[in-house]
Structure 1
């Protein structure tokens, strides 16, 4: 197995350096591709001084799927793993990855996070949408056989969030299984408070509607999933209003953002579905363009 590890990063110099140190010690034979940018914290200089990074790709677009595809373009391994810059591989990571690939063409594992009260981790996540069984994977800790990524045409660059979940739907459509290996664990080297950022609600639901309509069409399965998600979030926000933790005007503004995001995402998803009728469903994928990188440093 020839393994390439692609690490997208943005202004994460210190966390990235810690992760690279451990990766070099635990997985010394892997080809390491870092996709940077556009960072302003000295990441480029730090990487150019290291001898354990094989390729550095500088990009100008702050979108994770663009960075993933830019790394995939230059990776040479027959297995390509994607790691988040602020995660560190566990000692058993490579063994878990190797074992998982004996059962499936895609393998993922948990992320261990240090909290104030101890350690938290993840479990494998599955969902049935229509007649399709979807196994989601950890986008910051996943490995693919290269042939699978070629068939998927990489990641969908329309999406600013949820690109890994979109790929999971497309893997299911192509009848690829995703193996879960607890040994393929990664961890954060710093403490987190356990908080969850709310983010842009309109963008979140735009991405949700887009990937569901693109992958399933205008069907009850897609509408039901979006409606359940929106209804659940509205109920939680309504309770916050009743408790006085959220102003009614904020609730209404969030609702408008969600409705606008759903409408735009559904329309764009329908156009994408028409543009690419293949099972890959990826009109904005790896083959769509070749100008992602603004600079490339290759020390192989």
Structure 2
């Protein structure tokens, strides 16, 4: 197995150093591709000098999935992994990925350990049945996919500002691709990547609006507009509305926050649903990805082979 590791980054220099140090220590034979958004914190200089890095890609846009797709296009390995800028692989991770691929997996994911006050939390496998598909979800900061699976997916959907990894999981399930959960494919994440730092600085988008536009988009794109899809979206919205409402009752949130969340959710559900239907029409193949790797060639404005 020839392994490439893509690390998208944007203004995360200090955390990125630790991620690269872990790759140098535990996966020294892997090709490491760093896809750098328009960082202004010295990321480029540090990356070009780090021993773990083989390729540095400079991008001009703040789009996580464009960075991932640029990395896919540049990576040479027959297995391509994605690690977050704030995510450190653990010692057993490379062998766990290799073993799962050798056993026939098309994608491999595993637990994410998070440092919290008083200890460490660990995320477990998340599986669900959606539209008759058995879907195994994965975090975009801890997953490895075979080149064959990535080519069939055409990478990640760049329409999505959030939820593109979940979208890819739906599409893999639709292709009958196997996503393996390997308990030893562990990573440590110091802090959760903030969606807002990936958006244009002048955006007025809210996290609630982004979440529900992405949810409506990926469900309608992958499954169409069906009663089950509509019911699933409504169930999500009612659950979040109840959760925020409970926070208001307890005094942990303002009533204005609840109202603002609702005002953001409704129009974004409509917009995401419309865009999802349009994307479903634009790509009728199982990949369901009109905004993937092959859709454009202008992501990278500079490449450095370090």
Q: Same fold (TM over 0.5)?
A: yes
For each residue in 1:68-116, what CA deviation from the matched residue of structure 2 results, as whole angstroms up to 9, or x when unmatched?
0010111010000000011111110111111111141100011111111
Whole-Å separation in 1 of the counterparts to 2:283 and 2:262: 31
2:11·2:43 contact (CA, 8 Å) conserved in 1? yes
Q: Which residue pairs with 1:26 in the alignment?
A: 26
Q: Compared with structure 1, are the counterparts of its residues 126 and 8 closer, same or farther at alpha carbon in structure 2 (3 Å cutoff)?
A: same
Equivalent residue of 1:112, what SS? Answer: strand
Whole-Å separation in 2 of the counterparts to 1:167 and 1:208: 13
Q: Which residue pairs with 1:265 in the alignment?
A: 272
2:162·2:195 contact (CA, 8 Å) conserved in 1? no
Q: Which residue pairs with 2:298 in the alignment?
A: 291
Picking from 203, 207, 211, the partner of 2:218 is 211
Deviation at 1:139, TM superposition (A): 1.0
Q: Which residue pairs with 1:145 in the alignment?
A: 146
How many residue pairs get matched? Answer: 296
Deviation at 1:36, TM superposition (A): 0.5
Q: Compared with structure 1, are the counterparts of its residues 140 and 274 closer, same or farther at alpha carbon in structure 2 (3 Å cutoff)?
A: same
Deviation at 1:215, TM superposition (A): 0.3
For each residue in 1:170-207, what CA deviation from the matched residue of structure 2 results, as whole angstroms up to 9, or x when unmatched?
0000000100001010113x5x6x9x999610111000
For each residue in 1:148-170, what CA deviation from the matched residue of structure 2 results, as whole angstroms up to 9, or x when unmatched?
10000110000000000000000
Whole-Å separation in 1 of the counterparts to 2:283 and 2:96: 35
Whole-Å separation in 2 of the counterparts to 1:278 and 1:243: 48
**1:1-300 map, 5 Å:** 1-101=1-101, 102-188=103-189, 190=190, 200-299=207-306
Deviates more, 1:62-71 or 1:235-244: 235-244
Q: CA RMSD in A?
A: 1.7
Deviation at 1:256, TM superposition (A): 1.4
1:36·1:56 contact (CA, 8 Å) conserved in 2? yes
Please give the TM-score of this superposition, normalised by the length of structure 2.
0.93
Whole-Å separation in 2 of the counterparts to 1:245 and 1:146: 47
Whole-Å separation in 2 of the counterparts to 1:38 and 1:47: 13
Equivalent residue of 2:135, what SS? Answer: strand
Q: Which runs of 5+ in 1 are unaligned?
A: none
Q: Which runs of 5+ in 2 are unaligned?
A: 197-205
Equivalent residue of 2:301, what SS? Answer: strand
Equivalent residue of 2:47, what SS? Answer: helix
Whole-Å separation in 2 of the counterparts to 1:11 and 1:181: 30
Q: Following superposition, which runs of at least 4 residues in structure 1 exceed 2 angstroms of deviation?
A: 196-199, 240-250
Whole-Å separation in 2 of the counterparts to 1:240 and 1:200: 17
1:33·1:56 contact (CA, 8 Å) conserved in 2? yes
